[in-house]
Amino acid sequence: MSALNDLLNLDLFDYTDKIIAEYIWIGGSGIDMRSKARTLRGPVTDPAKLPKWNYDGSSTDQAPGHDSEVILYPQAVFRDPFRRGSNILVMCDAYTPAGEPIPTNKRFNAAKVFSDPHVVAEEPWYGIEQEYTLLQKDVQWPIGWPVGGFPGPQGPYYCGVGADKAFGRDIVDAHYKACLYAGINISGINGEVMPGQWEFQVGPAVGISAADQVWVARYILERITEIAGVVLTFDPKPIKGDWNGAGAHTNYSTKSMREHGGLNVIKKAIEKLGLRHKHHIAAYGEGNERRLTGRHETADINTFSWGVANRGASIRVGRDTEKDGKGYFEDRRPASNMDPYVVTSMIAETTILLKP
């Protein structure tokens, strides 16, 4: 028992200058994460200094068997909280050998949007509230719920504490420190309204970095639940009935919104979002129609609405922003299984680049 622990925690610093780099990418479903590791001469903190790599795309539904190589381009580096030392996690995106982004690579397009000079000038900030549900391993039922039955109705669980109200806190707390260690800009956590459901927030992060950090935070979370023997799901409505769904509310602001007179810029931006509601909804996560019903603190999927401090609207503007005349707004529509590259770049595109 102890020997395995010692090996896992072995600090290689005095023995070699080699490091282990875990290359991470998104698989064929758009929500499954994959990773594999390689040895490199270290230490390395700049993704540009890391070599490209490749993997078997035919095993992840991303390439045919007779032409299966998919190339990995390193895009962002974080410290590895599991291996520690100088070892790293590397967030990558996926290309054909000819250098074209493969269809499931949503980062490529987002990078284009975020390097547009108009977008760069506006310095878009994102704060993403990632909700998720923990399930028992052998039955697809949330942790803490009696198998074959239900817990007491929602009420006591939001930010709750106690063995009958909070299920799985160790996972959440371990994840918080692991993300801080890794260098992810995790800004907070809380227990959610449905028992066994939690949320963490990443941000404020600028441009494409927001999405890189959310994906790596998701990876770290799945590694931790793997250790804990619990199943992670980002399904937007894991349990039917009078139980909250899971979202990924995206808070957003630009330079103009954060300055004097920003509230008007915000209102104009919300108008533009209203004109493109269907376009956004189609890209905000699979299965969202099961979640956006108009109940359980959501707005109905077919209606676009906004309001101050209104949790039943598509877009919510905080009281502080209203009072100060500047600030940010919250898009409450994205589902927990949304792709942050898509959501963040689409919001920037619609509010900054789109001319009505």
Partner 1 sequence: MAQIMAPTIQCQMRITKNSLTASPMTAKTWSSLLLKQKKSGNTKSLSKFRVYALKSENSTINRLENLLNLDVTPYTDKIIAEYIWIGGSGIDLRSKSRTISRPVEHPSELPKWNYDGSSTGQAPGEDSEVILYPQAIFKDPFRGGNNILVICDTYTPAGEPIPTNKRARAAEIFSNQKVINEVPWYGIEQEYTLMQTNVRWPLGWPVGGYPGPQGPYYCGVGADKSFGRDISDAHYKACLYAGINISGTNGEVMPGQWEYQVGPSVGIEAGDHIWCSRYLLERITEQIGVVLTLDPKPIEGDWNGAGCHTNYSTKSMREEGGFEVIKKAILNLSLRHKEHISAYGEGNERRLTGKHETASINTFSWGVANRGCSIRVGRDTEKQGKGYLEDRRPASNMDPYIVTSLLAETTLLWEPTLEAEALAAQKLSLKV
Q: Is residue 290 classed as helix, strand or coil in its secondary structure? A: helix
Q: Is 156 among the residues that bind partner 1 (CB under 8 A)?
A: yes
Q: Which of 180, 275, 353, 354 binds partner 1 (CB under 8 A)?
A: 180
Compute how many residues bind partner 1; rule: CB under 8 A. 52
Asked if 11 and 85 touch (Cβ cutoff 8 Å), the reply is yes
Distance of alpha carbon 195 from alpha carbon 198, whole angstroms = 8
Stretch that binds partner 1, among 100-108, 122-130, 183-191, 258-266 (CB under 8 A): 183-191
How open is the CA angle 287-288-289, to the nearest 5 degrees? Answer: 90
CB 18 to partner 1: min, Å: 20
Asked if 208 and 131 touch (Cβ cutoff 8 Å), the reply is no
Asked if 347 and 250 touch (Cβ cutoff 8 Å), the reply is yes
Distance of alpha carbon 153 from alpha carbon 168, whole angstroms = 18
Q: Is 53 among the residues that bind partner 1 (CB under 8 A)?
A: no
CB 149 to partner 1: min, Å: 11
* Parallel, antiparallel or unpaired: strands 248-253 and 329-331: antiparallel
Q: How far apart are the first and last CA of the chain?
A: 64
Residues 80 to 99: which contact partner 1 by CB under 8 A?
A: 81-82
Q: Is 309 among the residues that bind partner 1 (CB under 8 A)?
A: yes
* Identity of residue 50: L
CB 310 to partner 1: min, Å: 5
Query: Going residue by residue from 113 to 152, which x/- string records binding to partner 1, judged by CB under 8 A?
Result: ---------------------------------x------
Q: Which of 8, 10, 275, 354 binds partner 1 (CB under 8 A)?
A: 8
Identity of the residue, 37 or 174, whose beta carbon is nearer to partner 1 in the bound complex: 174
Distances (CA, A) of 110 to 33, 113, 266, 346: 19, 5, 22, 8
Which residues 6+ apart lie within 8 Å of 271 measured at CB? 356
Q: Is 248 among the residues that bind partner 1 (CB under 8 A)?
A: no
Residues 282 to 301: which contact partner 1 by CB under 8 A?
A: 297
Residues 185 to 214: which contact partner 1 by CB under 8 A?
A: 186-191, 193
CB 174 to partner 1: min, Å: 4
Backbone CA torsion sign across 199, 202, 204, 205: negative
Question: How would you list the strands of the sheet with 18-26, edge to edge?
Answer: 33-41, 18-26, 88-95, 69-79, 53-56
Residues 318 to 337: which contact partner 1 by CB under 8 A?
A: 318-320, 323
CB 11 to partner 1: min, Å: 9
71 Rama class: left (phi>0) / alpha (psi -120 to 50) / beta: beta
CB 162 to partner 1: min, Å: 5
Residues 334 to 353: which contact partner 1 by CB under 8 A?
A: none
Q: Is 181 among the residues that bind partner 1 (CB under 8 A)?
A: yes
Which positions lie near partner 1, rule CB under 8 A? 1, 4-5, 8-9, 79, 81-82, 146, 155-156, 158-166, 169-171, 173-178, 180-181, 186-191, 193, 224, 227-229, 297, 307, 309-312, 318-320, 323
